[in-house]
Structure 1
Amino acid sequence: MSRTRITPVGAMLWLLCGATWAATLGGLEGGNIRKDILDPKRFGGVANFSTFLLDRSSGMLFLGARDAILSVDTNNLDKPPLNITWDVPEEKRRSCVAKGKTEVDCHNYIRLLEFLEEGSIYVCGTYAFDPQCAFLELSTFTLKKAKDGGVQMETGKGKCPFEPSQHYTAVMAGGILYTAATSNFLGTLFDISRATGLEQERIRTERSINWLSDPEFVSSAFIQQSADSNPTGDDDKIYFFFTEVAKEYDLYTKVKVPRVARVCKSDVGGMKTLQRRWTTFLKAQLVCEDKPSGQRYNILTDVFTMQHTQGDPSSTHFYGLFTSQWEHEELSAVCVFSLSDINKVMDGPFKELKKTCENWINPEPIPTPRPGQCLNNALKAEGFESSLKLPDKVLTFVRDHPLMENSVTAAPLLVRKRIRYTKLAVTQAGSGEEPTRAVLHLGTDRGELHQVAVVGQNATLLREMSLFTAQEPVNNILLHKGQALVGSPLSLARVQAEGCALYPNCEVCARARGLGCVWKEDACRVTAKPGPGDTVEDALMKCDTKDERCHPSPRELKVSMGLHLLLPCVQLSPRPCSWEHPPHRHTRQHHSNLEVTVTEETLGKYICTCQEVGPANRDPVPCRRGIYHLTGEDPSLGGTVARAGSRHVLAIYILVFVAGLVFGVFFLYFITRRHSIRRQGHHLPDNSLSSEKGRDLLGSSATPQSPSSASLLSEGFRLTEKRNGTETSTTTATLFSNQGNGGHHGNSYTGNLIHSNPSNGHGNSLYSNCNTSSSGMKFSSEILAADMLDGRTGERERVRSEGGGRESGEGNEVDEGLQDGLAEGIKGLEEELASFPMFKSPAPLAKCEESSI
């Protein structure tokens, strides 16, 4: 049976493991199940456990860690673990860091532990990005020494990954190691190879994207044919499971697909074509798809291999753990594939890319003997005793067509939303005649172990156990003598995994009815297998109501306004759940859970009701799974503050609106006075505004714009000023803003002018001209007059074209009289505005100084 190599977690987990906090409102607890946990203190500072190897005869568990190998007696966890240190010299670590790697990665992470026939263990580690292998003597639990007294090592390239976080898998077949790993320092070359044995028989995959396209290796398995069930003399096979980027799909993004690849144990490569390469390498796509919804799970994360009938390799099934590339939230699914289905696809048509039209088609013809076929008695009778004797046309074909046309398909046994499973192990509950009764042991990325009963095509969640902190994902699960050995990068747990006695109450025991459990005399006991009419629903109905299966206790939650709350609802079956809550639109259901945005409308009672699983010809049974009462922390205080704040804002709006009306009255007064001056016959001749000096007060545009009555005091105008012999043009700040309803956006005037002076070395200086009065505001009558007269340039041009012979002095007198009148009006406006409290200033403003930006 193969062991999956899971990526180790960095040493920073040491900082997180001691400070974990989690709050849940509901869930399935572990009950009175016995859990023995070894925390990091028991391992004396050793961390980053990534590889497990169990000696089933003695019960000794070997753990590969960072710079160390440990041995734990699973029969007596109180016994201190044995420890072997295998670290990297300081000089080599410094050299690794100098090549651009981190200090954390430049250690020796043990990624391979495999038994050898000589009573030793083959150990390989990353060894500061220079993989090395050594031999562990079981009798003395020491690493084999070299002549110089150090550890006897040999290269681990092709046997162990360079980087600790790289995906990797390996399996031992007949004393020969088969691996799937990266083979270079940069991690850009990938090989599935025979890594040990005779040098001439160490072969690997072809360096082609048609063979391996950016793969992430997951698991491997060696299927050894038995003599009784192998009349054709077929060769033993090694299967590799991985996820890679599909080359057969031409889409806008990279599409990942799960694969299963197969090689034959006696393959030694070709004579001319495919020298030192696999001649039997074939791969097929795994499809885990829920056909009714069309949801496909295309990322493979773990595989567990199990024979449904002991001693019969043909009954082997592969339980795959999947997630989806296209889902943004956490999602996990379990599909099971049979060995017979995989071999059927491998014996089917090949897939080919036709270069002319870029379409995949079935290739024709297929040469003889069939490409990729393992050696058997029939081929040996034809003279093909070895792969070295295969003809070139067969080898050329298999080199160009490693992918099969058909896929290995399966429907998911289990789909869990908002949960990410990391490891999978399976125990069989039925006999060989009933291989469809099993228990899935699933490890999560938050240190939990879930047990799911699978009976036929129905999956039922039995229990959820919290073993480690939320920062410790489960990365290893081994099943041994009714126990589950569960590991994380920092800890180890031993949990009882089999038997009806594990289920502490009637509800959990009833959900395990398909496994042969029944609740009798206040205990869960083993009974005969259920009959056609003996279902889980019937067993649940027989449970006493004191178990409160469908009568959960209400929970009162004091919440604050504006809080986003997620109310959980434990979904025990694939059927939907619904919520009852006060009528509002501030909720959003995430599968069975409910997200609530707390407002005054959302306070009240929330009830979650789920439908229990039943046969297709029966109505589902409703069951309440959660009742919550949301109450405010201090509703009266919050409402008072909100209403008081609303009144203050409304008062300010009314005050600003009144100020706008007063300003509008004075504005109409000035407009009326200007028209009265026109009617009195005072003409405006060409005055200083038409001279060069007067033009400096006009805008930079050639034709001044006449402001409308609504924007006379809201539009800024440009001024020019000479500094250091350079004429600059600037724009004043807006005098007043009278927009919207009543001009409630506020009225202000700062009087700040920003000039650009290229000759000062920086080009930008800030000059503030802050004039203050008792009201905190001061209008410049000179600027205002210029703006008022700017709109009358057209009138001046008309008078001048008529040739009026008035003296320039008369015109100046008229201008002076108009300016005096405007000054008096502005003064009265300032006094009038000063009477409003909103324009009063508590203290005079400080004098403004020149500063550079």
Structure 2
Amino acid sequence: MSPPVARVLSLLFLWVLLLGDSRAAILSGPESDAMLGPDRFRGVANFSTFLLDDSSGMLFMGAKDAILAVDTNNLSHAPHVIRWDVPEDRRKSCKAKGKTEVDCNNYIRLLEFLDDGRIYVCGTYAFDPQCAFLDRTSFSLERREDGEVKMETGKGKCPFEPSQHYTAVMAGGILYTAATSNFLGTMFDISRATGPEQERIRTERSINWLNDPEFVSASFIQQEATRHPLGDDDKLYFFFTEVAKEYEMYTKVKVPRVARVCKSDVGGMKTLQRRWTTFLKAQLVCEDRPSGQRYNVLTDVFTLRADPDDPATTHFYGLFTSQWEREELAAVCVFSLSDINKVMDGPFKELKKTCENWINPEPVPRPRPGQCLNSALRAEGFDSSLKLPDKVLTFTRDHPLMENSVASAPLLVRRGVTYTKLAVTLAENGRGALLHLGTDRGELHRVAVVGQNTTLLQEIPLFPADQPINNIVLHQGQALVGTPESLAQVQAKGCGLHPSCEVCARARGLGCAWQPSPGGSQDGSCGPALSEPGTGDMVEEALKKCDSREGRCTPAMRELRVSLGLRLLLPCVQVSPRPCAWDHPPQRHTRQHHSHLEVTVSEESLGTYVCTCQEAGPDLREPTSCRRAAYQLVVEGPSAGGAVATAGSRHLLAIYILCFFLGIAISAFLFYFLSRRRAIALHLPKHSLSSDKGRDLLGSSATPQSPGSASLLSDAFTLSEKRNGTAMTSLHSTQGNGGPHGNNSYSSNLISNSSNVSSNPGNGHGEHVFSNYESNACKLVADLLDGRTGETGRSGRGVRETGDEVDEGLGEGLGDSMRGLEEEMAKYTLFKSPAPLAKCEESSI
């Protein structure tokens, strides 16, 4: 290789690296008030548990082999770290039981405040759960006289395995947990885990009580004596998903549940000894009745009390998905505390106990089974669960499930998105709520909920795509958003978190209004509205003041310049659970993927595409139509790309010509060298050659091929994907209903994507114009200049003659000469290694 070509290649390679780094920096740059990355935590990772001290603003974080304390009032201060790892003998014992080295660490899964100000800390401790006490004043774990950490068993308080579903809540200094209670993870308990030994009770070991549950959340509801003169007991609610025993189907049906126990329950005297006597559970139903879609897997629950002094204002926001959907799906439903208690006070479900499917219901004894203590029961002499009759306890043991379900319609439905965490803040005007949703790709989505209508406001990329959000904690108008490796602090309340006029207008129902500056409507800030929103479509009226063609139901037409034969996905953001429909040219090359539309571009498919979704209207039985997206498909002209594309093509052609002549020179050299060696070999004695060893001289040594890299990224489009072996250009807007950014960036990004598709039809699988080594050299240079990292391969297959004369003339002599040739050629940079392979990506198929 000549020095100029080497210099060109090195410069191009450096330019590609710099471009990739800068692009990654732009995409990963957080839109947050403050960010703490992995470098700030000094090697500590795997954050799974957050505990916030509201008075001081100190955030305690449970990690692998460590506990951290972060001052949320000043994130620039270095976090405090306590190491709590596992001794080597415990690790060896854990690995001897068949666990991996990664699992044999101490993952902190529980952080709870005690009444004396200390923090109760529990970790998996190499599959032998242990608990300790943390002194907040000195920020250190309490130790024994010998200097070792003062520990007590964590069985029943903390899971054995780091990834097991688990939840816990502290009530009056007593810990209540829902976790596995054995090493194998096959026994599940909801228990009172601390307190006096005689009062530590748990659920009955019966599939009627708990059947392979996945615990999600727990909440303690404390009754106020002034508002509840009947003297009702405090209650604890546990949310989980379990396998339904009441449904007999060919497969296991998962069902979301809510279970309730009473704080003063201490078990029965004879029946249900040291077992809950007040355990009741009911099914949660999150269903869109018009479409019949039901979401049956609960993934997260957020408890919100509108009035801190009134427990009746408590609502539980549940994050759901579906067991039956193959595509990513998320829904949000809200359940009120009063609705849950009403179901708990209703009829009991009779489960099958004989060969018959159903039996006659048993009469409900008095006092009512599962009822919490109140003033009336105490007046009758039942001041403790130990005094309940056996017939009441027997009925409770056999009837833990309620007949009725707690039903709710979804507030939000999103397809193609996996939500992992949920937090909710109320609007300042009290008329709506703002949902903060964390995704499995490090994004934070904000959704406004006003009445029956929801509006997607923002989709904020906070973290890299490989960091799922697993914690959201609200504190003084801020949201502390965490992943297993990072922490971000963002504004979570107030109109000031809406950065543009369009986003502020979409939050009109939350009491926000855009206050323009003298420079124009787009210059200004979002603040509280001076007047309450009126009747009608207030968002539509607010958007008209932004000098934008966008509207909540009147999206601007976006022109997409495409190439014939391109297959693309037109996005339509669906926030309502009701269906969406597309109006498009009459041709058969379309396919709807839920709310999105897949289009194969042809002459007949050019034209206008409009997506219309159904939303809740004034009457829930008569939904209204709302246009969500509009596109105009136009064929890309031959001059698209301009001078830059032309210059790039000229350089590419010059490199191909250079490689062609270089290949001719190398081929001539190889032909001359082989001819000389063959002439020498023909004069050797015949008995020195073996015809059998000359038949397979150079075996194939194909290197693994890497898939093509992703096309150019942008804020408005996701990566290209493959379906059924065909490249798919997926257009996913990060705006949502028009989104916060009013620019029309669809056209330019689609040109970039379509150019990659059209200019690289085989994605690196085209015909080999040149032979062997020069082909790889040319493809390396061409791919670098063209900005592609297509699949590359190297073949070491040699030319093999079939005649006996050639076999006799070659043999081992030629094999030795070829090995010598390879050693000589290995000295050149061009032949030292194959073309660089793109980073291998895991296929989703």
- TM-score, normalized by length of structure 1? 0.68
Which string of whole-angstrom CA distances, capped at 9 and with x for unpartnered residues, describes residues 75-102 of structure 1? 1111111101101111211211111111
* Matched residue, 1:506: 501
Cα distance in structure 2, aligned partners of 1:579 and 1:354: 47
Shift of 1:469: 1.1
- Matches of 1:20 and 1:362, distance apart in 2: 70
Match in the other structure for 2:591: 588
Q: Is the 8 A contact 1:516 1:530 kept in 2?
A: yes
Q: In 1, distance between residues paired with 2:79 and 2:128?
A: 28
The answer to whether the Cα contact below 8 Å between 1:575 and 1:610 also exists between their aligned partners in 2 is: no
SS at match of 1:322: strand
Query: Which residue matches 1:169?
Result: 167
Deviation at residue 589 of structure 1 after TM alignment: 2.1
Question: Which among 454, 459, 470 is matched to residue 464 of structure 1?
Answer: 459
Displacement of 1:632 in angstroms is: 9.5
Distance 1:173 1:618, change over 3 A: closer
Question: One-letter code of the match for 1:486?
Answer: V
- What displacement does 1:556 show? 3.8
Q: Which amino acid aligns with 2:162?
A: P
1:626 Cα offset (Å): 4.5
Letter in 2 for 1:565: L
Structure-2 separation of matches of 1:569 and 1:364:
52
Offset of 1:506 from its aligned partner?
2.4
In structure 2, what is the Cα distance between the partners aligned to 1:97 and 1:30? Answer: 37
Matched, 1:550 2:545: no
Q: 1:385 to 1:510 in 2, by over 3 A?
A: same
Shift of 1:420: 1.1
SS at match of 1:239: strand
8 Å CA contact retained: 1:569, 1:626: no
SS of corresponding position for 1:461? strand
Q: How does 1:441-452 map to 2 (within 5 A)?
A: 441-452=436-447
Tell me: CA distance 1:276–1:848, structure 2 relative to 1, closer, same or farther (3 Å).
Answer: farther
Whether the 8 Å contact between 2:340 and 2:406 is mirrored in structure 1 is yes
Q: Select 1:485's aligned residue among 480, 484, 499.
A: 480
| Contact 2:192–2:202 under 8 Å retained in 1 | yes
Which of 154, 157, 166 in structure 1 is aligned with 2:155?
A: 157
**Identity percentage of aligned residues:** 70
Trace 1:291-310 onto structure 2 (pairs within 5 A). 291-310=289-308
For 2:485, the aligned partner's letter is L
| Superposed displacement of residue 535, structure 1 | 1.9
Which secondary structure does the structure 2 equivalent of 1:399 belong to? helix
1:353 match: secondary structure: coil
In 2, are the aligned partners of 1:557 and 1:629 still within 8 Å (CA)? yes
Structure 1 position 336 matched with structure 2 position 334: yes
Q: Is the 8 A contact 1:61 1:71 kept in 2?
A: yes
Q: 1:208 Cα shift?
A: 0.4
Residue 44 of structure 1: aligned partner? 42
| Deviation of the 1:620 alpha carbon | 4.5
Please provide the CA RMSD for this pair. Answer: 3.1
CA contact (8 A) 1:603 1:631 kept: no
Q: Distance in 1 between matches of 2:129 and 2:58?
A: 26
Name the count of aligned residue pairs. 615
| Structure-1 residue corresponding to 2:126 | 128
- Other structure's SS at 1:554 match: strand
Measured in 2, the distance between the counterparts of 1:395 and 1:219 equals: 27
How big is the shift at 1:471?
A: 1.1
Identify the residue that residue 365 of structure 2 maps to in structure 1: 367
Match of 1:808 in 2: none
2:527 alignment counterpart:
525
> Residues of 1 paired with 2:572 and 2:23: CA distance?
15
Distance in 2 separating the partners of 1:605 and 1:364: 66
Paired residue for 2:285?
Answer: 287
| Structure 2 contact 414–574 (Cα < 8 Å) conserved | no
Partner of 2:399: 401
Q: What is the letter of the counterpart of residue 472 of structure 1?
A: Q
- The answer (yes or no) to whether the contact 1:30–1:464 under 8 Å persists in 2 is no
In 2, Cα distance between equivalents of 1:422 and 1:472: 11
Given that 1:349 and 1:362 are in contact with CA atoms closer than 8 Å, whether structure 2 keeps it comes out as: no
Q: CA–CA distance in 2 between the matches of 1:343 and 1:386?
A: 21
Looking at structure 2, the residues matched to 117 and 230 of structure 1 have their Cα atoms a distance apart, in angstroms, of: 25
* Contact residue 453 and residue 616 of structure 2 kept, 8 A: no
SS at match of 1:405: coil
Cα distance in 1, alignment partners of residues 38 and 375 from structure 2: 54
Aligned to 1:245: 243
Task: State the partner residue of 1:774.
Answer: none
Match of 1:255 in 2: 253
CA distance in structure 1 between the partners assigned to 2:598 and 2:267 by the alignment: 59
1:290-339 superposed Cα distances (whole Å, 9 cap, x missing partner): 11111111000000001122210111111111001111111111111111
2:731 alignment partner in structure 1: none
Structure 1 position 230 matched with structure 2 position 225: no
Q: Quick one: structure 1 residues 298 and 150, their matched pair in 2 at CA, closer, same or farther if it must change by over 3 Å?
A: same
Task: Please give the residue correspondences for 1:783-798 in structure 2 after superposition, counting only pairs within 5 Å.
Answer: none
The 2-side partners of 1:539 and 1:60 are apart by 40
Distance of aligned partners of 1:605 and 1:205 in 2 relative to their CA distance in 1, 3 Å threshold: same
Structure 1 355/412 Cα, relative in aligned 2: closer, same or farther at 3 Å? same
- Aligned pairs for 1:611-626 within 5 A: 615-616=617-618, 620=625, 622=627, 624-626=629-631
Q: CA deviation at 1:623?
A: 6.0
Alignment equivalent of 1:565, drawn from 565, 568, 581: 568
Distance 1:570 1:284, change over 3 A: closer
Cα distance in 2 for partners of 1:365, 1:92 equals 54
Q: Please give the per-residue CA displacement for 1:386-413, whole angstroms capped at 9, x wherever unaligned.
A: 1111111111110011111111111111
Q: Deviations over 1:524-573 (max 9, x none)?
A: 221132122462222223431367983365354568x6x65334344566
SS in 1 for 2:404: strand
Corresponding residue for 1:713?
none
Please say if residues 351 and 360 of structure 1, whose CA atoms lie closer than 8 Å, have aligned partners that are also in contact: no
Equivalent residues of 2:129, 2:155 under 8 A apart: yes
* Unaligned ranges ≥5, structure 1: 1-18, 636-841
Match of 2:322 in 1: 324
1:88-126 deviations in Å (ceiling 9; x for gaps): 111211211111111111100000000011121000000
Quote how far apart the aligned CAs of 1:513 are: 0.9
Kept after mapping to 2: 8 A contact 1:263/1:278: yes
1:833-848 superposed matches below 5 A:
none
Q: Are residues 239 and 88 of structure 1, via their aligned partners in 2, closer, same or farther at CA, if it must alter by over 3 Å?
A: same
| 1:437 CA drift (Å) | 1.0
CA contact (8 A) 1:248 1:360 kept: no
Cα distance change of structure 1 residues 506 and 134 upon mapping to structure 2, 3 Å threshold? same
**Alignment of structure 1 residues 676-695 onto 2, 5 Å:** none
Q: Which moved more, 1:182-191 or 1:606-615?
A: 606-615
SS in structure 1 of the partner of residue 405 of structure 2:
strand
Residues 361, 301 of structure 1: alpha-carbon distance in 2 compared, 3 angstrom cutoff: farther
Equivalent position to 2:82, from 69, 81, 84: 84
Q: Which has the larger radius of gyration?
A: 1
Q: What is the CA distance between 1:590 and its match in structure 2?
A: 1.7
Aligned to 1:536: 539
- Offset at 1:627? 4.8
